[in-house]
Amino acid sequence: MATAAITGTVGDGATEAEIVAGAGTIVITLTNDTWVESTTINTFYVDPTATGTNDGSSPTNAFTTLDYCMDVRALANADLVNSNTIERWICSSAGGAHTADTTALGLLAFTTGPNNYIEITCSESHGGVWNTGMYRIEVANAPPVLVQNNYVRIDGLQIYKTASDGSGEASILINTIAAGGSDIRISNCILRQPGNASFNEQCLYVADADATVNCWNTIMYGVGAAVSTSNAAVLQNGGVLNIAHCTLIGGYTGFRVTAGTANAYNCYAYGSGVAYSNAGTQNQTKCAANDTTATDATLDSILKDTSTGAGHAGFTNVTAGSEDFTIKTGSALIGVGADLSGESAPMNVSTDIDGAARTIATPDIGADEL
């Protein structure tokens, strides 16, 4: 990264500032107005429609797949703790064809820490509805995103497994996490499955006892009709999963915990067999269900439909292939959530999937705030 002299002021009371310097960004952390730490943010770009030099240095010269970005950066900067850096990868789809990224991403090669993490984000907003005009990952017969690294943040992505040839090929699969510290964050995403009734499908599968996952403002749907509690929008088989304001449209099951501890806040879950299923620990705070498995009975039996009024989720569109799980006026999910402002970050959610402010005291349930 190029270096340059940095001058300027930071206001009293500030705890952190980002200052652009050359090709990167310096994060300055302040304690009692003393500069105590500086972390370099290495920013690179991904765009399947880019036609430049494919080195990630700019939107024009973006890497054409996210996985290639990962490969290049792993060779250049595998130990983020030693280099005291953050890797920030910004995805977009600027070309007229808006081609999908069809290469599966495997995150496993980095040494990371609480202050030295990988951040994958999108320069465009999908607005809470699947959008083929912006960046998306579409992969068949394999997990489109495999996370085997601690301290990874995925924000605003669309991830679609387009075909299944086996069980457990989740849209995001988290496994083989090293012990000793974990903070994996998934926020403001749309996760899809193809709806193959022959296999157990999941949008999010937490499959490791050492994982701590925080997920919020994410819509998951498209899971097939196989009759199994493991055929779910979310399947947890170990670790800790904190999940808030998510819309979980499962197959047979909405949200299944086979092992580990789940803490769910202000989520809506649908399953053709059971919305919430638990063989581990599954704590609910103001979560709604299409059946009677919500622990708050006032949030039971809310149908996954486009009707409004008591007992109706009031989604915009539930037709397969054109789903829109934003909510309409009159939805039974409006204004019945819990105030999360007292929760530890990042579970103190104050915005929705498309960045709209939530009503803090009585937010809507699910990913969308009307």
Give the tokens for residue 14: 């500030």
Cβ 338 vs Cβ 285: under 8 Å: yes
| pLDDT tens by residue, the chain, 370 residues | 333 334 455 554 455 555 554 445 555 555 445 454 589 999 999 999 999 999 999 999 999 999 999 999 999 999 999 999 999 999 999 988 899 999 999 999 899 999 999 999 999 999 999 999 999 999 999 999 999 999 999 999 999 999 999 999 999 999 999 888 899 999 999 999 999 999 999 999 999 999 999 999 999 999 999 999 999 999 999 999 999 999 999 999 999 999 999 999 999 999 999 999 999 999 999 999 999 999 999 999 999 999 999 999 999 999 999 999 999 999 999 999 999 999 999 999 999 999 999 999 999 999 999 9
Cα gap 260→258, rounded to integer Å? 7
Domain assignment present for residue 346? The answer is: no
Domain assignment present for residue 105? The answer is: yes
Domain assignment present for residue 253? The answer is: yes
pLDDT more than 70, % of the chain? 90
Helix ranges restricted to H, the chain: 66-76, 80-83
Domain assignment present for residue 214? The answer is: yes
- Residue 22's CATH number: 2.160.20
Domain that holds residue 45: 16-303
Domain assignment present for residue 317? The answer is: no
Domain assignment present for residue 213? The answer is: yes
Q: What predicted TM-score, i.e. pTM, was given to this entire model? A: 0.91
Cis status of the peptide bond prior to 59, with omega within 30 of 0: no
Cα gap 47→49, rounded to integer Å? 5
- Indicate the number of domains in the chain: 1
> Quick one: DSSP state of residue 101?
B
Q: Which long-range contacts (CB under 8 A, 24 or more apart) does 63-72 make?
A: 64/101, 65/101, 65/102, 65/103, 66/91, 66/101, 66/103, 66/105, 66/120, 66/137, 67/103, 67/104, 67/105, 67/106, 68/103, 69/44, 70/105, 70/106, 70/107, 70/109
pLDDT at 95: 84
Coil, helix or strand for 298?
Answer: helix
Cβ 189 vs Cβ 221: under 8 Å: no
> Quick one: DSSP state of residue 307?
-
> What are the tens digits of pLDDT across the range 70-126?
999 999 999 999 999 999 999 999 988 899 999 999 999 899 999 999 999 999 999
pLDDT at 38: 82
Domain assignment present for residue 179? The answer is: yes
Cβ 74 vs Cβ 90: under 8 Å: no
CA separation (Å) from 155 to 88, 158, 185, 190, 214? Answer: 11, 9, 8, 10, 12
Domain assignment present for residue 78? The answer is: yes
